[in-house]
Amino acid sequence: VNIYCALQENRIINLIPSLDYRHVGLVQPTPGQGGFGAVFEVLDLRTKQTRAMKIELQAPDPDEVGLALEVGVLRRMQRSRHFPKFVHTGVHKKLTYLVMQICGDNLWYLVRKCRRKRFTLSTVAQLSLQTLQAIRELHHAELLHRDIKPENFLMGRGPADKRLVYLLDFGLVRRYKFKGKIRPARPVAAFRGTLVYASPRVLSNQDAGRCDDLMSWLYVMIELLKSTLPWSDVDMNRKKLYEFKVSSVKDLLADAPNEFTQIHAEINRMGYADSPPYGKIRRLIKQMMLNGKVNEGDPFDFEPGGSEYEAVFAKIEERRTIVKRKRVQEAERRQSKNDDITMKSFRFQ
């Protein structure tokens, strides 16, 4: 599969110019990235803006919808500020592609670059508000994400949205309503998601509801704060992992703000069809911020003024600036060479 995908990536890179885009590079890879899709950073030759282009490296199975599902979800969420802007989609030489707004680094990458592999309470609390709102907006559109994890939350990339969190990767999204009514829960549901962040309900093959997205969200926030979860390094099957998660709630919430304990209780008492108490959870986060003397707008750990910026992220930005400058210079050389060839051809016509 890896050899196949590598060959396909080279094929795609050669095809990108025919779509009126120029290949710049691969978007920051994330752990667990799917083997049949890749995200490229491309330059729109018409608008001169940088975009993200997601391309299926292999056609989905007959019973799967593949990239078409992600396109549909993204289009549906265009009124939400926590979802990237849709630009274009199409099929070229049997490859389905999606062009959208490009985002910055994902939360997993950012937290793993920190010296202690965790964020401060200030950063986690502020991220909690935004990520909760993103999930709430997806649920308002009658959709479940079913794969909430830090890799799927990305920061903005431009000056106007650098503090804004985006929710991505909709390959496992499912509608939980049909004609305005909650769909009946399936007696047994095949597992979908990521084991580390899956709720106990999902691990036990119960149908996923909004409560399960929120339990995964809570696991993510606690991991960002504590650097690990009680089961992060445990190798066990789903049944054993279910039992471990149910029995280790005390360890999960140890050394975390009391508000997280209250949020866990709120989510844990919910059933498949229950509407989440988003407002109450938000108020608890606000109380956590008040107790921790956190203000909205305080610097994130990874931005100027943050606790990790000078030691870690300033150096990363410097290296990226150098790499970007080299890429631009190389692109300009290629363009100049192409212009020379065009002019010579014109003279001989």
The residues carrying an active-site annotation are 147
Return the structure tokens found at 302.
């990874």
Q: How far apart are CA 210 and CA 145, in angstroms?
A: 9
The separation between CA 26 and the C-alpha centre of its own chain, rounded to angstroms, equals 16
How far apart, in Å, are the Cα atoms of 231 and each of 137, 243, 335?
A: 29, 11, 52
Longest Cα–Cα distance in the chain? 79
SS3 206: coil
SS3 166: strand
Pairing of strands 95-101, 86-92: antiparallel
> Which H or E run includes 105?
none
AA letter at 147:
D
Residues 176 and 144: beta-carbon distance below 8 Å: yes
